[in-house]
Every structure is written in structure tokens, then in C-alpha cells.
Structure 1
Amino acid sequence: MNTYKVQKRDMETKAKKLRREGFVTGNLFGKEIRESIPLKIERKEAERLLRECMKGSQVLLDLEGTTYDVLVKEMDYNSMKNEIMEMDFQALVKGEKVHSVAEIVLHNKEMVGGGVVDQLLTEIAYKAEPSALVEKVIVDCSTLKLGDTLKVADLDIAKDKNIDITTHMDAPVVSVIVPRNAEIPEDTEEEAAE
């Protein structure tokens, strides 16, 4: 698990000033932390975290010598300025379930015959203890064919007893559809008309 260095932020200093000085602001909160701890993160460190992790990743934070096992809860990225603005972290407590999200990653899309893969869901929300956290859900599309739809309930994460899915189980994740400029075969048109 990767470790990232952060510092306590003096709230007297405005976020805008910190950003000009090369820092990203953030917060660390959790059940065993009495009050949220305002943070400042050197921009290079924040960019490394952004490259290596995502919302829902479990990482270690080194806060001035104290290490916290945390979940990346939010990453506020300004695409206009092409920079990370804010990062929030939830300190994890062994045995306590936390809300998180897992990114859905599609593999073998090029192996789908007769149609185009349409990804309808990019992440799955769930609750789990720190030991059961999932960062990515890999979906193998190689066995899919035209007309197939995979739902949340069809995925391995939905079958894991240590994870409570909060996204609706009937939510479609991926469908195989007819390509936009493809002609529909005549026999299919006749069946649809009946």
C-alpha cells in the first residue's frame, strides 16, 4: 500500500494562497478523530496520489510522523485549470464498515462480436470493512454478444459476502448494442414489426 506525506494546514492561511504556494488542500476525518484535521499536500505529492489512486482507494497517509490507514473519499479536480484542488480522506477503523466506490473496468471489449459495448455504469457504491475494500471491478466482455446486458447482480463483487452493495442490483453495467451506422438485417426488422 502506498504512503503519501501530508501536513496539518493552518486555517489562518487561505486555500487560494496555499494553492499559489504549490499546495493542495484537504481534510482527514473519521470515527476515532474527534475533529476533522485540515491538511495541505505538496502539489507533486497530490499529483502522484492522483496518478496512482482514485476515489475509493485505500492508502496510507504520513501526517507529520503519524501514519493513518485511509480511504480516498473525494478528489476535486479542476479540468479547466488542469489541477487537483482538494482531497478528502476517511481514517479507517478495523471492524467498522465504510461507504466506498469501486471503479468498473471493461476488458476484452474488442472480442465482442456483432455489436458495440456500451458502458452504462462506471462505479459501484458499497459498504465494507477495511480488509474487504475493492478499488476496481474487472468485467470480462469476451463472452458477451449482441443483445446481452450485465447487471450489478451479475458481477463477482455482488456475490462477495463481505461487501454490501448499495448500488441497485438490477442497474445495468454494460450492454452490447447494434453499432449506430450499421444496417439492421431485414429478418430482424420484420420480427420487430410483428
Structure 2
Amino acid sequence: MALTVESKPRPEGSKPKALRRSGLIPANLYGHNARESISLVVDAKIVERLLKAAAVNKTEIELSIPELQWTGKTVLREVQIHPAKGNPYHISFFATAKG
């Protein structure tokens, strides 16, 4: 079962704490274009659902970034969980090979 996640480019100069307060989780996408990475934000509710359904480095996730007209297959590479609160505060996606 492939999961689908929609994200947005992270606003230039935005502070992670302010993003989290507004219900967004900072994220990164690696491997979609050689060594370049994209800073993203994903809705916190989507991240919570994703973490219940996906296993790190195992579950294939269809990631779409409509503003950049990019959609591709990724895996969840890393999830950082807040040590005291227990909620996710940063996630990383890694693009898998096309095909």
C-alpha cells in the first residue's frame, strides 16, 4: 500500500518553532535531484497519520510538492521525536529511483 503525502516548500526565513505552533512540521527531501535537498513543511495531522502507517526506510510514500510540480516515490529516512513531548518535530524523506 503506497501512502500519499502532500507538502509545501518551507517559507524562506521561517523559524521551525513558529511553523510547529501553526500546525506544520519541518521536513526535508533528499535525493530527488543529485545532492540538492528541498526544505519542506508538512501538516502535523498528516505526519501523525503517516507515522502510524509507515516504517522508517521501508514504506514507500508518494510525496507531492504541487508548488514545485514535483511528485515522486520516497521513503521516510528519519523522524525526530521531541524527547519530552513525544511528538514529531522534524522528518526527512529520501527519493527512491524512478521506475
**With structure 1 as the length reference, what TM-score do the two structures score?**
0.46
Aligned counterpart for 2:75 among listed residues 71, 81, 86: 71
Matched residue count? 95
Match of 1:89 among 80, 83, 93: 93
In structure 2, the partner of 1:15 is: 16
Amino acid at match of 2:6: K
TM-aligned CA deviation for residue 20 of structure 1 = 0.6
Task: Tell me, in whole angstroms, the C-alpha distance in 2 between the residues paired with 1:31 and 1:18.
Answer: 24
Task: Look at both structures and tell me which one has the larger radius of gyration over its CA atoms.
Answer: 1
The answer for the alignment partner of 1:39 in structure 2 is 40
Quick check: 1:5–1:63 contact (8 Å CA) kept in 2? Answer: yes
Deviation at 1:78, TM superposition (A): 1.6
Inter-partner Cα distance in structure 2 for 1:16 and 1:76:
14
**Greater strand fraction, Structure 1 or Structure 2:** 2
Q: In 1, Cα distance between the equivalents of 2:33 and 2:39?
A: 15
Shift of 1:54: 2.0
How far is the alpha carbon of 1:94 from its aligned partner? 3.9
- The 5-angstrom pairing of residues 40-59 of structure 1 reads 40-56=41-57, 57-59=59-61
4+ residue runs over 3 A deviation: none
RMSD: 1.7
1:58-78 CA distance string (max 9 Å, x none): 211111153110011001112
% same residue: 31
One-letter code of the match for 1:39? L
